[in-house]
Chain A
Amino acid sequence: DADVTQTPRNRITKTGKRIMLECSQTKGHDRMYWYRQDPGLGLRLIYYSFDVKDINKGEISDGYSVSRQAQAKFSLSLESAIPNQTALYFCATREGVSGYNEQFFGPGTRLTVL
Chain B
Amino acid sequence: GQNIDQPTEMTATEGAIVQINCTYQTSGFNGLFWYQQHAGEAPTFLSYNVLDGLEEKGRFSSFLSRSKGYSYLLLKELQMKDSASYLCAVRDTGRRALTFGSGTRLQVQP
Flag if A90 contacts B43 (CB, 8 Å): yes
Given contacts A43-B100, A45-B97, contact A99 B41 (CB under 8 A): no
Flag if B97 contacts A33 (CB, 8 Å): yes
B interface residues, tally (CB under 8 Å): 23
CB < 8 Å A-B pair total = 50
User: How far apart are the CA atoms of A56 and B101 in the complex, in Å?
Assistant: 21
Does any Cβ of A come within 8 Å of B102's Cβ? yes
Tell me if A's interface is mostly helix, strand, loop or mixed: strand
A interface residues, tally (CB under 8 Å): 23
User: How far apart are the CA atoms of A33 and B30 in the complex, in Å?
Assistant: 19
Does any Cβ of A come within 8 Å of B50's Cβ? yes
Flag if B48 contacts A44 (CB, 8 Å): no
Flag if A100 contacts B96 (CB, 8 Å): no
User: How far apart are the CA atoms of A95 and B80 in the complex, in Å?
Assistant: 32
Residues in chain A within 8 A of chain B (CB atoms): 33, 35, 40-45, 48, 50, 56, 58, 88, 90, 99-100, 102-108
Kindly list 15 other residue pairs between chains A and B, CB separation below 8 angstroms, not including A35-B100, A103-B98: A41-B102, A42-B100, A42-B103, A48-B97, A88-B40, A99-B50, A99-B91, A100-B48, A102-B33, A102-B48, A104-B45, A105-B42, A105-B44, A107-B41, A108-B41
